[in-house]
Structure 1
Amino acid sequence: MYKVFLACLPVAVAFALPALIAAQTATPAPADWSGLRDVHLDIVPRTEEEAARIAAVTALTDDFSAAQPFEQNSGGAATVRARNNADAFSQPSANLSFEEELDFRVGNGLFRRLWVSPPASTIASDGLGPLYNARSCQRCHLKDGRGHPPEGPQDSAVSMFLRISIPGGSPMDEIAGYIATQADPNYGTQLQDFSLPGHAAEYSLGIAYEETLVELSGGETARLRAPVYTAEDLGYGPLHPEAMLSPRVAPQMIGLGLLEAIPVEDILAHADPEDADGNGISGRPQVVWSLVHDQPMLGRFGHKAGNPTVLEQSAGAFAGDIGISSPLHPNGWGECTPAQTNCRQALDGADPEQDGVEIDRVGLDLVTFYSQNLAVPARRDVDDPEVLRGKEVFNTSGCVACHVPSYVTHRLQGDTAQSFQLIWPYTDLLLHDMGEGLADNRPEGRADGREWRTAPLWGIGMTETVSGHTYFLHDGRARNLLEAILWHGGEAQSARDQVVEMPPEDRAALIRFLESL
């Protein structure tokens, strides 16, 4: 249905593109972005006529009297109806074939699998640890939704951990702008707070908050909580004196395959690292090394876009979060460092029947397929007058300069669920300076200590339904959508200040719009 709509759309259709991002969409890619290849190998090139139709349908609107065509279907033909329960993010793409849905179900089983310590009665489930953050993917991404910081001393930090690195290491000459870092000699690149018997856990997470009052227009106020993170109860000696820690909460899982299918050139079209158009927005592409394709590629996944593909994101999580080896990360000890000798010498779950690793390529591909095809729920109340007013506030306040509303994915041979879909993720997948308040002061790839990838907003209004909370941002410090907005700084400072100063009814409409996504 959506493919028919795009194919029949007249070239002359004109949704006015505000000057806000007009220059961004015409920005040529500088030399250090050249050669960035797309994730997919089976792309059908666009014709000039098709590109013109796509540009028209994805241009920003200046008509807020009604919803745009197909706007309620955030994931195109893959969209599913919005369920009013915790399973809303756990549905397969609506356009999967019967056979593909079976693969999705098997992948779901592997995603939910509780791994156990080796040796075990079955080779299919052993290999956990020795150090880990969770026993399954589902334990962090509960119901495929967002994680959260611990809520009091009795709550586990199972869906949150600290990344760690130190300055230095070998620069990656193949990637322009790469900021060299290296693993902490005792603790590696990720701190694990669980361990198998006979092994010490690396740490326990400590968080202290300090609240500040923010005055808003109309006599309204909000309170922001600024966190301080500490690595306590260290199991393997002190951290390196230059150790840089960065908190990470597990993100929601929906729509990942669609984000992977957005053409590289469509993402780079919004990049403006020197702010050539003078609008204060300087989005930069993250470029990272792909283990699968053995070359630099555009980073898309993770809070700092540190992975180029869903496959690599999945394999990295198996190794770092659960201690499970795969063809991409074949070490049976997971994240254990050379200094953790007992950990490296422990029995692992690798088996010749699984190609000498704990999850083989077949299993990894099934988990990846599951992750790529978690469907985006349909939007709610797209024609509600307050939602439409909130959409206008979102656009005119400049939020769309980073949270780009829509794209059309690649046309792919084989007609996969992600092929040629009009989608509404509300992200540019680029790195932006978010100000000192959100800075973790830890570089990753080309991202410096103040930069974060623009988070997709689709599904954000269903967070409480799925996850039972409303914690947002990379570390869950924001307790609601308004707090998340008020933490924006750096390139987003102007948009944030407009939200503070706008009439209260416009601010309420903006939140109502976000809740409809």
Structure 2
Amino acid sequence: MASRLRSRRPLRILRWLAALLLAPAALAGDLPRIGPGDVAADPHLAVLPRTPEEAARIAAITRPATDFSAPERFEARPAGAATAQKRADGNAFSHPSANISFARELDFKVGNGLFRKLWVSAPASTEASDGLGPLYNARSCQRCHLKDGRGHPPAGPEDSAVSMFLRVSVPAEPGDLAPELRAIEGYLATRPEPVYGSQLQDHALLGLPAEYRLAVDWEEIAVPLSGGETATLRKPAWRAADPGYGPLHPEAMLSPRVAPQMIGLGLLEAIPAADILALADPDDADGDGISGRAQIVWSAEFARPMLGRFGLKAGAPTVREQSAAAFSGDIGLSTPLHPAGWGECTPAQAACRAAPDGGAAIRGGLEVDAEMLALVTFYSRNLAVPARRDMGDPAVLRGKRVFHETGCIACHRPKFVTHRLADRPEQSFQLIWPYTDLLLHDMGEGLADHRPEARATGREWRTAPLWGIGLTGVVNGHTQFLHDGRARSLLEAVLWHGGEAQAARDAVVAMPKPDRDALIRFLESL
């Protein structure tokens, strides 16, 4: 009976979607509920089926390690055949997939050019580059993701905040949501701030005020460690100073976001949704204290609910949607998914909406047309993961054992095998080592932003992939981690873990110093 009910669910959703398009108002009070089981398909991928023999091989090769005397087979290439074998220098995150063809590498390079393009205000003599703003956080994608790596919070009042911003929303009632969102089980009702929208921009074109200035106050917290050591954490209090359009709503919820590194996104997108959902344990049925939950978001690209994978709370289902949202919110550029030429300007910002935009007839009235968006998406999908370093070092192997035995792999899942894909050879059927489950986890009050996003609560975050994390200092010149860059080292990042990760964090505090040092050494090798 249960299997027959599950088999009817996709048909039921299709009928509901058809009815929604014809008569949305009539469905406001009676919508079929959409849960994780309804998003197991991957409509964005041309998937070829796995054979039973392949499924058995995948199950065997993705089991967690039990022998830490030597590196595992294939561990040197965390992105499979796509792994970059270049020098681990300042360009380590900017290489294309190693298995890319010559013709497709040309597309990668054109996409890189668009990713690096500096946009200017409209109208301009360079029509292909105008359309910036009117409100924006950066003039190019590269300005936030410097060298395709991680952003950082401003070091002081005079330092730029270009690689981070504040998301903003206000509480709402379920009835305020669109019908398709109300149908998603556990979707948490919020709405954009009435004047400032969903994201605060700290730059504006000449003649318009910026929305705010990012400000922060730091509090230092001492954490005693075994062996007589003491670590010092810094706790931030983020503020939207100097609001340019009047006070924010009294119930405004702010969430700081540092730009994440860009590597391996296409491979994360190619992990079968069913494999991610199989790791979810929302009720902690196995009693291990870990209760990962699937994020479910509405896809503007496919007009259906999908598994969220990208963003710090997994708010985007595909690389294309993440890219389009960044063009709109960060730079103020219109795309096929966000066609408004004024970007994030709200109806309350009339002068902003009235400013000229860079939409051109040759691009269908858009500033970034479908072809340009496709090239940037292709570039983002094919930024390669660097090869592992020092895998056989005894300290690294000891740290890997500590990582496994402490329970870190309950969320930072080491291995997956991607879909076999008909049209994405670089990502097709690769054994990858991202060290994430792409699920939402309660990380405790210390990391809470108290701002829900889709199904994610104010205490939940998506497990961050760890591949490449040890090269952050080489690529970006800093070692600042977590969603707002508060952690100044990998050890500080671990010590901020709470909630479901509290037991693992406490084990790191209490373990012998040589084990703790080895754990950090292992993370630095990723």
Question: Considering the TM-score relative to the shorter chain, is it more than 0.5?
Answer: yes
2:91 corresponding residue in structure 1: 87
Stretches (4+) displaced over 4 A? none
Stretch moving more, 455-464 or 35-44 = 35-44
Alignment of 1:58-137 (within 5 A): 58-137=62-141
| 3-state SS of paired residue (2:129) | coil
In the alignment, which residue of structure 2 is the partner of 1:293? 302
Give the C-alpha shift of residue 114 in structure 1: 0.2
1:436 correspondence with 2:445: yes
Matches within 5 A, 1:4-403: 32-36=35-39, 37-168=41-172, 169-170=176-177, 172-403=181-412
Q: Using the TM superposition, give the Cα deviation of residue 163 of structure 1 relative to its aligned residue in structure 2, in angstroms.
A: 0.3
Partners of 2:424 and 2:127 lie apart in 1 by: 35
Check conservation: 1:39, 1:261, Cα contact below 8 A: no
Structure 2 counterpart of 1:503, one-letter code: P
CA distance in 2: counterparts of 1:99 and 1:136, whole angstroms: 25
- The one-letter code sitting in structure 2 at the alignment partner of 1:506 is D
Q: 1:448: Cα distance to partner?
A: 0.4
Question: Where does residue 5 of structure 2 map in the other structure?
Answer: none
In 1, the alpha carbon distance for the partners of 2:75 and 2:44 equals: 26
Query: Distance in 1 between the 2:214 and 2:44 partners?
Result: 39
**Alpha-carbon distance, 1:47 to partner:** 1.6
Q: Give 3-state SS (helix, strand or coil) of 1:187's partner.
A: coil
| 1:174–1:296 CA contact under 8 A, matched in 2 | no
For 1:393 and 1:334, locate their aligned partners in 2 and report how far apart those are by CA, in whole Å.
47
Q: Distance in 1 between matches of 2:280 and 2:303?
A: 24
What SS does the aligned partner of 2:46 have? coil
Residue in 2 that maps onto 1:422: 431
Q: Is the 8 A contact 2:34 2:185 kept in 1?
A: no
Of residues 145-154 and 33-42 in structure 1, the stretch that sits farther from structure 2 once superposed is: 33-42
How much does 1:46 deviate? 1.1
Match of 2:6 in 1: none
Give TM-score scaled by structure 2 length: 0.92
Q: Report the Cα distance in structure 2 between the residues aligned to 1:132 and 1:226, rounded to whole angstroms.
A: 27
Q: Aligned equivalents of 1:163 and 1:333: distance in 2?
A: 18
Question: TM-score, normalised to structure 1's length?
Answer: 0.93
- Alignment correspondent of 1:6: none
Q: Is the 8 A contact 1:412 1:419 kept in 2?
A: yes
Task: Give distance in 1, aligned partners of 2:47 and 2:121.
Answer: 42
Q: Is the 8 A contact 1:320 1:335 kept in 2?
A: yes
Shift of 1:366: 0.2
Rounded to whole Å, the distance in 2 between the matches of 1:31 and 1:300 is 17
* Matching residue within 466, 479, 484 for 2:488: 479
Counterpart Cα distance in 2 of 1:256 and 1:415: 13
Equivalent pair of 1:40/1:261 in contact (CA under 8 Å):
no
CA–CA distance in structure 2, aligned partners of residues 174 and 425 of structure 1 = 32
Alpha-carbon separation, structure 2, partners of 1:207 and 1:61: 42
For this pair of structures, how many residues does the alignment match? 488
Give 1:13's aligned residue.
Answer: none
Q: Would you say the 8 A contact 1:165–1:245 is kept in 2?
A: yes
CA contact (8 A) 1:89 1:144 kept: yes
Q: Structure 2 regions of 5+ residues with no counterpart?
A: 1-32
3-state DSSP of counterpart to 1:35: helix
Contact 1:82–1:379 under 8 Å retained in 2:
no
Secondary structure of residue in 1 paired with 2:47: coil
| Match in the other structure for 1:15 | none
Residue matched to 1:489: 498
2:85, 2:98 within 8 Å by CA — same for their partners in 1? Answer: no
Task: Tell me the distance in 1 between the aligned counterparts of 2:433 and 2:347.
Answer: 45
Shift, 1:39, TM fit: 4.6
Measured in 2, the distance between the counterparts of 1:468 and 1:491 equals 31
Cα separation, 2, equivalents of 1:307 and 1:184: 20
**Does structure 1 retain, via aligned residues, the 8 Å contact 2:92–2:475?**
yes
Alpha-carbon distance between aligned partners in 1 of 2:34 and 2:297, rounded to the nearest angstrom: 16
Q: Distance in 1 between matches of 2:96 and 2:86?
A: 13
Q: Distance in 2 between matches of 1:191 and 1:415?
A: 35
State the AA in 1 paired with 2:299. S
Q: 1:407 to 1:173 in 2, by over 3 A?
A: same
- Secondary structure class of the residue paired with 1:511: helix
Deviating more after overlay: 427-436 vs 37-46 = 37-46
Question: Secondary structure of the equivalent of 1:124?
Answer: helix
SS of 1:395's partner is helix
Secondary structure of 1:61's aligned partner? coil
Q: Could you say what secondary structure the match of 1:482 adopts?
A: helix
Structure 1 position 83, deviation (Å): 2.2
Contact 1:39 1:309 in 2 (8 A): no
Aligned-pair CA distance for 1:153? 1.7
Cα offset, 1:85, TM superposition: 2.0
State which drifts further: 118-127 or 245-254.
118-127
The match for 1:512 among 492, 502, 521 is: 521
Q: Give the counterpart letter for 1:298 in structure 2.
A: L
Shift of 1:49: 1.5
Letter in 2 for 1:351: A
In the alignment, residue 253 of structure 1 is paired with which amino acid? M
Aligned to 2:418: 409
**What is the identity, as a one-letter code, of the residue corresponding to 1:392?**
R
Q: CA deviation at 1:41?
A: 3.5
CA distance in 1 between partners of 2:88 and 2:252 (Å): 43
Distance 1:304 1:181 in 2: 15
372 and 499 in structure 1: CA distance in 2 versus 1, 3 angstrom threshold = same
